[in-house]
Amino acid sequence: MYWPGWFIFLSPLIGAPIALAVGKRYKSLAGIIASLAVGGALVASIITFFFVDAGTVVSNSSKLYVVTGQYAYNHYLWFFNIDIGIFIDRLSIMMALMVSFVSLMIHLFALYYMKNDPNKHVYFAETSLFTAGMLGLVVASNLVVFFLFWELVGLCSYLLIGFWFFKPNATAAAKKAFIVTRVGDLLFLVGMAILYDSLVGFPGLGSNSPLSIPFLINNASLIASYIGKNTLGIVAVLFLAGAAGKSAQFPLHVWIPDAMEGPTTVSALIHAATMVTAGVYLVARVFNIFYAAAPFALYSVAILGAFTAVFAGIIGIFVNDIKRILAYSTISQIGYMFAAIGLGGLFGYAAVPLGMFHLVVHAVFKALLFMAAGAILIALMDLRDTRDMGGLWRKMPMTVTLLFIGSLALIAFPGTAGYFSKDSIISASWLYYAHYGTAWSFIPWIFLATGSLLTTLYTFRMFFRVSLGKPRSHLAEHAKDPSVWALIPLFILAAGALLLGLIQTPFYNFITPEAFVPSVPIYIEAIPITLLAIGLIVTYVLYGTDRWRHMDFSKNRLYRLAKNKFYLDTLFTNIIAERVITPVSGGIATFENAYNNAVDRTGSGTLSLGSFFRKLQDGVVENYFVVLIIGISIVFIIMLLAGLM
Amino acid sequence: MFILILFIIMVLASVVSFGFMDRRREYALIATAIFLVATIVYSILRFSTGYGSGGFRSESVYNLAPSIGIAFSIGVSGFADALLILSGIVIFIAAFIAGKHEFTQTMYSYIMITEVGLYGILISRDFLFFYIFWEVVLIPVYFMVAQYGGRNKDHVSLKFFVYTHIGSVFLLLAIFTVYAYHYDATGVFTFEIGALMQSKYIEMIPTALRYFAVFGFLFAFLVKMPSFPLHSWLPDTYETSPYPGTVILAGGLSLMGGYGLFGILMPIYSSLGTSVLQLLVALGIISLLYFSFTALIQKNLKRMMAFASAGAMGFVTLSFGAGLLEGTKYTASLELAGGMFQIVAHGLIMAMIFTALYFIKMSTGKETTYGLGGIYREVPMLSTFLLAGLLASLGLPGLAGFIGEFSILVGSFAAIGWLILLVILGMIVTASYHIWAAQRSLYGPYNENLGKIADLTPSRFAILIGTFAAIFILGIVPNLIYGILVSYVGGII
């Protein structure tokens, strides 16, 4: 048994109840305990990293992932033939490192951010539990265990969105998040059910658990030929539905902007850096299933991602709430990751590092952006409307500079880490088109390239409104930077957002030796950068000055469409929930009442029949005799008629 | 032998309980706690090792009237053992939460007699005694509702009694049918369940009467489950019954239906007929959907959870039908074991939810969603427990409910294919109203009309944490009972 691997998730899991119990008495200790527990997870991840790194990896030409090198796989029977245990290979340790590192940074910042909250022991216990869930998901050896942690992080997300339970908005958002992701989760469960049932009788199964991840990875092509590529494709698409729910992809993305009602550190941890990337990780984890299935599986991953990248980007341009802008950018960036992995239909497993690198880089700069926004919101008493900010660069130079660095990384400004991770995806999507040359294969590239314009538009629309011009509210005028100590985690993350590009090639090669940095003709390479430059100029002209205040699009139909989030929330809430589910439920409940009354009436009918007959029992013997005679006569008549006598 | 002695002590103890006028609560608590511990010890001794082939343990027979085949015959299967522990826990919880000030002394005797009835059902291997204990359970529960119930208690308790009694009558007729034809075939009078419930004898019954017998059994069991359309007694009874009674109804009485299906009917699965099994699958799915949708717009939390309980039992009906349709397929044992696990999990979860609701009712005097609101601010611990119960009930992994629902879902796909999407729809609706109930009653702005309310006392905390621990442990280490359930299925199929 490779025990340090277990501590990756056990450390915060044990830390959570301790933080709750100790923190109840000594409030200020809760955050420290939680941070130590998460730090323990980081240490365990680093130790495991060296363990995994020590193995030598053999290259292969199958385009599938082959479990090779040194990895940890300890598993025990859970129930029936489902295993419980850990499986740590190069992919999972990379993810575990990212999660524990970013989570630690956010925990440290939360020491400052949640300083005055009376329930902070609950907060830290829940974030610690969340980290445990996320890390458990990363190292899980079986899809059912994966699903267990998958739901645990969903639960923590629910609890933390509703952390300020007295805010009606927050609890409504928590409810929405839970139910929407539950839809995806249950589809994921159906996918597992189909896979499990199809694998019964599979000759290669042996003593393996049918849903064991290493088993699925190693036998993907055999499984595909045993159960049929199309069935496996359906399984993959159902997995994708689960991933889309968790990772907020179209059309299940509607919960995440509302989830911004939670504390900002929660948004940073759960709804930007870690949990929402779990779906991407799922697809990367069982990539072989997607690749071995019919081609539509990975193609739908690519299209879903590319479409969401554009879709969320468009909405993001018309939002004013600073956190919601960042939320839409998260949806959009996760779309890039999905698209990258979806390109694996051509590149095989070599596409996974493209997505994973963007995942890691995105976690770093998005955590930075959210925490910088959090620092601003503390100074502004939680005023989130960017229209009421302005001029903050002068008022809060440190924080806004950090926000600026994060924004540069987000728009993939050349030289920042975001450029290396995102531009490679766009280039790879061009190669995808160049290889197939069909209109269908052109879609990812055109969407992703357009996405870089949209990213710049919404990011710098937000940034210029926040930082330049004159303060547009009383609060903004009196905003102040937090102390340098509080911002230390942000500085670390900012360094990452600037410099992580340096490790691009080592990262790719760590994940798989077949990885490559895509290179495309210079005129293709230039397109996203040109779009980025156009975006910067447009936003500076409009939002760097006061010009935007005189713009009025409210008559424009496209504007209204995007402003109303393409009416998807309306569709789900007002049409499906209120016009379909509620009336159906009302109808069934009405039927239930009627049915219940009918049963009652049958009962009371019997009773009244009884009270009618009771009148005959009046104690007068003569009457009894009359009834007796009548009864006997009737019996005789019947018998006569029936010919029995 | 152990279980027989335990059972006799239990009978005596429940009779003696009438004697303890003032200290009956303490007496009942100590007695039920001892019974629970004894059952657990017994299970560890007899079932933790070597329950490989799945048969019965602790069998003994005492012939009372050999000429007509009446015997007091007992035996415990792995499944019955799991349910024994469940009923021990549920009864203990009911006795524990029945406060001295809310109930007079008789309540505790009722609770103890219910326990006798439940244990009797589970250990009887003789149809006559099975039937007697089946009836014994009804009486104390009827009195609980009639004596301590809420609004409309006379009407509701009568309805409960008559409705479930009609089920029992059909059960008796079915038993006599099987008994008579067994005599026809073998010339031996016996009420022994193991002897009567064999496919080779059942198949000798003329078709019409065979279906009548099967119908009689199913009717009795589905009333208890309860399954659509035989559920009309349920919402009223759950709502009107005092909370300890509701705990017993949800945790104890629903297991009778499940035990009837899996413990009594499963051995004759091959003569049930495909159409009957398909009917059960349909009833299971319809129950799940029907009760979820009905629960969605309930305003009274107790009534809503009554429907939730019935909906969760829909999974059990579904698993029975679908699992037996699969016959000897590999997934069948997953499915059936999942169904049985679900009975146990459901009993514990519902006991926890109703306990938490009871404490809320006692603190605030309210049990409707609009009457509560934001109580998390005042009673964080109690709210957290209710939330935990609700999450367990909607099948959150890591808690006991998930293991059963996962097994059933995975197993069902092999039998019913894409109809599983209807189950998924039911689960989504289930999740919706659970979460909606939590949001509406626990979170949001505090309803200041409630004034100041007190959080859990240590003893209430203990009972809730204990129940939750059981749910959590079964969710993390399901093999504590899953293994014996699989062996039990393996012994039959």
Asked if A175 lies within 8 A of B436 by C-beta distance, the reply is: yes
B120 falls within a domain: no
Nearest to A183 among B403, B428, B479 (CB): B428
Position B392 pLDDT exceeds 70:
yes
Position A555 pLDDT exceeds 80:
no
Residue A606 CB burial class (10 angstroms; 0-12, 13-18, ≥19): exposed
Among chain B residues, the shortest Cα distance to A590 is held by: B294
Check CB contact of A187 with chain B, cutoff 8 Å. Answer: yes
d(CA A330, CA A362): 8
Strand partners for B56: B77
A195 falls within a domain: no
Cβ atoms of A386 and A462 within 8 Å: the answer is: yes
d(CA A97, CA A38): 11
Q: pLDDT category, B103, cuts 50, 70, 90?
A: confident
Å from A140 to nearest chain B CA?
14
pLDDT score, position B171 = 92
Asked if A179 lies within 8 A of B435 by C-beta distance, the reply is: yes
Position A550 pLDDT exceeds 90:
no
Nearest to B444 among A168, A599, A600 (CB): A168
Asked if B298 lies within 8 A of A589 by C-beta distance, the reply is: yes
A553 falls within a domain: no
Cβ atoms of B35 and B86 within 8 Å: the answer is: no
B59 falls within a domain: no
Show residues of chain B in contact with A588, CB under 8 Å. Answer: 290, 293-294
Asked if A80 lies within 8 A of B486 by C-beta distance, the reply is: yes
DSSP code for B104: -
Scanning A43-72 for CB atoms below 8 A from B yields none
Asked if B407 lies within 8 A of A80 by C-beta distance, the reply is: yes
Asked if A155 lies within 8 A of B334 by C-beta distance, the reply is: no
Nearest to A596 among B232, B412, B486 (CB): B232
pLDDT score, position A644 = 63
| Stretch B119-139: mean pLDDT | 91
CB burial readout B399-427, b (16+ within 10 A) else e:
bbbbbbbbbbbbbbbbbbeeebeebbbbb
Q: Share the mean pLDDT of chain A.
A: 89
Å from B392 to nearest chain A CA?
11
* Complex ipTM tops 0.95: no
Task: Please write the tens of the pLDDT for every residue from B233-242.
Answer: 888 899 999 9
**Number of domains chain B is built from:** 1
Nearest to B397 among A147, A190, A581 (CB): A147
Nearest to B413 among A80, A182, A197 (CB): A197
Position B1 pLDDT exceeds 80:
no
Task: Please write the tens of the pLDDT for every residue from A105-122.
Answer: 999 999 998 888 888 899
Which of B119, B124, B157 is closest to B138 using CA atoms? B157
Task: Please write the tens of the pLDDT for every residue from A331-373.
Answer: 999 999 999 999 998 898 999 999 999 999 999 999 999 999 9
B114 falls within a domain: no
Task: Please write the tens of the pLDDT for every residue from A430-458.
Answer: 999 999 989 899 999 999 999 999 999 99
| B232, B455, B484: best to mutate for the A interface, most A CBs within 10 A | B232
Asked if A172 lies within 8 A of B439 by C-beta distance, the reply is: yes
Nearest to B406 among A77, A144, A596 (CB): A144
pLDDT score, position B104 = 85
Task: Please write the tens of the pLDDT for every residue from A494-530.
Answer: 999 999 989 999 999 999 888 888 888 888 888 989 9
Q: pLDDT category, B50, cuts 50, 70, 90?
A: low
Show residues of chain A in contact with B158, CB under 8 Å. Answer: 603
Task: Please write the tens of the pLDDT for every residue from A118-163.
Answer: 888 999 999 999 999 999 999 999 999 999 999 999 999 999 998 9
B399 falls within a domain: yes
Structure-token pair, residue A259: 């989830």
Give the 3-state secondary structure of residue A644: coil
Asked if B420 lies within 8 A of A193 by C-beta distance, the reply is: yes
Q: pLDDT category, A645, cuts 50, 70, 90?
A: low
> Euclidean distance between the first and final Cα of chain B, in Å?
28
Among chain B residues, the shortest Cα distance to A191 is held by: B410
A616 falls within a domain: yes
Spatial CB neighbours of B247, under 8 Å, sequence gap ≥ 6:
B90, B93, B94, B97, B350, B351, B354, B355, B358
Show residues of chain A in contact with B380, CB under 8 Å. Answer: 122
**What distances in angstroms separate CA A345 from CA A192, A287, A352, A512, A585, one per listed residue?**
22, 10, 11, 16, 43
Where is pLDDT greater, at A257 or A642? A257
Asked if B297 lies within 8 A of A585 by C-beta distance, the reply is: yes
Show residues of chain A in contact with B415, CB under 8 Å. Answer: none
Å from B160 to nearest chain A CA?
11
Check CB contact of A600 with chain B, cutoff 8 Å. Answer: yes
Å from B187 to nearest chain A CA?
34
Q: Share the mean pLDDT of chain B.
A: 89
Among chain A residues, the shortest Cα distance to B443 is held by: A165
The share of chain A scoring above pLDDT 90, in percent, equals 52
Å from B171 to nearest chain A CA?
20
Å from A604 to nearest chain B CA?
10
**What distances in angstroms separate CA A636 from CA A487, A622, A630, A639, B287, one per listed residue?**
104, 21, 10, 5, 49
| Stretch A468-497: mean pLDDT | 88
CA A425 from chain centre, in angstroms, equals: 21
Task: Please write the tens of the pLDDT for every residue from B5-19.
Answer: 899 998 998 888 888
Which of B307, B200, B92 is closest to A589 using CA atoms? B307
Among chain B residues, the shortest Cα distance to A162 is held by: B443
The share of chain A scoring above pLDDT 70, in percent, equals 100
Helices B274-296 and B420-442 sit at what angle, rounded to 10 degrees?
30
d(CA B18, CA B14): 7
B1 falls within a domain: no
A251 falls within a domain: no
pLDDT score, position B130 = 92
Task: Please write the tens of the pLDDT for every residue from A207-251.
Answer: 888 899 999 998 888 999 998 999 999 999 999 999 999 999 988
B162 falls within a domain: no
Show residues of chain B in contact with A155, CB under 8 Å. Answer: 391, 396
Asked if B232 lies within 8 A of A186 by C-beta distance, the reply is: no
Where is pLDDT greater, at B463 or A57? B463
Residue with tokens 């009270």: A611
In this structure, of A404-413, A515-524, B383-392, the range with the lowest mean pLDDT score is: A515-524
Alpha helices by DSSP H, listed for A468-521, are 474-477, 484-499, 504-511
Nearest to B410 among A150, A155, A193 (CB): A193
The share of chain B scoring above pLDDT 70, in percent, equals 100
| Stretch B82-97: mean pLDDT | 93
| Stretch A476-505: mean pLDDT | 90
Which of B195, B492, B81 is closest to B323 using CA atoms? B492
A625 falls within a domain: yes
Cβ atoms of B98 and B27 within 8 Å: the answer is: no
pLDDT score, position A55 = 83
> Does an H or E element contain B146, and which?
helix B127-148
> Can you spell out the DSSP letters for A246-314?
HTT-TTTTTHHHHGGGS-HHHHHIIIIISGGGHHHHHHHHTHHHHHHS-THHHHHHHHHHHHHHHHHHH
B323 lies in which domain range?
275-493
Asked if B439 lies within 8 A of A147 by C-beta distance, the reply is: no
Position A484 pLDDT exceeds 80:
yes
pLDDT score, position B440 = 86
Check CB contact of A186 with chain B, cutoff 8 Å. Answer: yes
Position B398 pLDDT exceeds 70:
yes
Position A204 pLDDT exceeds 90:
no
Q: Report the 3 state secondary structure along A40-96.
A: HHHHHHHHHHHHHHCCCCCCCCCCCCCCCCCCEEEEEEEECCEEEEEEECHHHHHHH
Task: Please write the tens of the pLDDT for every residue from A266-284.
Answer: 999 998 889 999 999 999 9
Å from A369 to nearest chain B CA?
29
A154 falls within a domain: no
d(CA A395, CA A403): 13
Position B444 pLDDT exceeds 80:
yes
pLDDT score, position B339 = 94
Show residues of chain A in contact with B396, CB under 8 Å. Answer: 151, 155
Å from B367 to nearest chain A CA?
19
Scanning A125-154 for CB atoms below 8 A from B yields 144, 147-148, 150-152
Which of B72, B58, B80 is closest to B125 using CA atoms? B72
A620 lies in which domain range?
570-641
Å from A179 to nearest chain B CA?
6
**What distances in angstroms separate CA B437 from CA B302, B368, B424, B450, one per listed residue?**
11, 9, 20, 18
Cβ atoms of A278 and A247 within 8 Å: the answer is: yes
A535 falls within a domain: no
Show residues of chain A in contact with B329, CB under 8 Å. Answer: 200
pLDDT score, position A602 = 83
Show residues of chain A in contact with B162, CB under 8 Å. Answer: 603
Show residues of chain B in contact with A77, CB under 8 Å. Answer: 479
Cβ atoms of B77 and B57 within 8 Å: the answer is: yes
